[in-house]
Amino acid sequence: MASPAVRRALLGWGLALCCLWCAGAGWSGGHEWKKLILTQHWPPTVCKEADSCRNSLDYWTIHGLWPDKGEECNRSWHFNVDEIKDLVPDMKIYWPDVIHPSSNRTQFWRHEWEKHGTCAAQLDALNSERKYFGKSLALYKQVDLNSMLLKFGIKPSVNYYHIADFKDALTRVYGVVPKIQCLPPQQDEQVQTIGQIELCFTKEDLHLRNCTEPGEQLSPKQEAWLAEGAAAQGMAVCEDGPVFYPPPAKTQR
């Protein structure tokens, strides 16, 4: 019979394996993913579609950091805000719940973690809540979308831009092809409204990469899943042509 010391060692080893499994080591092939999508949305457009915000922010905010395949990869790995207490000040600024600013904002973060973060956790660099949200904030600050657009003179305006203005600026700065999504014209409107910009990163080293590659084929299920975040807000990939970049709405007091 094994000695108490050996039994303790075996028990510890077993618990360690269990933790690895719970933290994302036990992935099925159906959850394998190839790239991460840093999705940022423009609050005035989100508020326009939702018709629920009294005021809107005047800078691009994080919608999420999404693996390109899979969701809710570990339903037993629940969100715990205590794990990211030190990040909350930045989260409130850069990753707010745009549509429900006065509600319990942790519900939005909980959704992003349980739907997307538990899949991203396949990667060692993202295999905890703290790492997932911390790296998301770091990538957001790294690409610095707000400053980049201003550098090219692209700022909210009552005048229209061309979607090529955004594509050219993004490609010149980042050296990769992004995905830009718009809210189609509504009612008497003539022009689409920019709403969301996706920048993609490699799984191996989190370097910027094209969001789509020549000849890259996605299954219908993947296409539907990737479009879900935008479609939930009524958005679709922008068409070539004029685009409205709306200034933020401010309620008079």
Please identify every residue annotated as catalytic: 63, 112, 116
Q: Which residue matches tokens 């969001």? A: 211
- How many CB atoms lie under 10 A from the CB of residue 104? 11
Per DSSP, 114 falls in state I
Whether residue 182 contacts residue 238, with contact meaning beta carbons closer than 8 Å, is answered with yes
Burial class (CB within 10 angstroms; exposed 0-12, middle 13-18, buried 19+) of 116: buried
Alpha carbons within 13 A on the beta-carbon side of 32: 4
Residue carrying structure tokens 């579609």: 49
Q: Where are the beta strands (DSSP E) in the chain?
A: 35-41, 61-67, 161-162, 179-183, 192-202, 208-209, 236-237, 242-244
Q: CA 185, CA 74: separation in Å to the nearest integer?
A: 38
